[in-house]
């Protein structure tokens, strides 16, 4: 039997590691990939820069997550 296992895609950009799914929005992660307690102005400034990248440029910053066949 095969199927898919999905999680939020994880990106690394401008010194930040974060997850982002359009339906849920972005959220910063700690170094061990746990969600941070809050997202401050520095995170939102970085995300604004990342969000202006092309889809190809955004994909280049992806470091994990998404859907994988199992």
**pLDDT digits 0-9 by tens, 7-45:** 899 999 999 999 998 888 999 999 999 999 999 999 999
Residue 1, pLDDT above cutoff 70: no
Confidence bin at 67 (pLDDT 50/70/90): confident
Whole-prediction pTM: 0.87
β-bridge partners, 4:
69
Q: Using alpha carbons only, give the angle 47, 64, 40 rounded to the nearest 5 degrees.
A: 25
Work out the average pLDDT over 46-66: 96
Q: Using alpha carbons only, give the angle 39, 41, 42 rounded to the nearest 5 degrees.
A: 90
User: Residue 2: what pLDDT?
Assistant: 81
């Amino acid at each position: 039997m095969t199927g898919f296992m999905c999680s939020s895609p994880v990106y690394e950009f401008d010194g930040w590691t974060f997850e982002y799914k359009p339906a849920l929005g972005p959220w910063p992660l700690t170094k061990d990939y746990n969600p941070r307690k809050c997202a401050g102005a520095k995170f939102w400034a970085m995300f604004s820069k990342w969000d202006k990248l092309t889809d190809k440029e955004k994909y280049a910053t992806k470091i994990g997550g998404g859907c994988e066949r199992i």
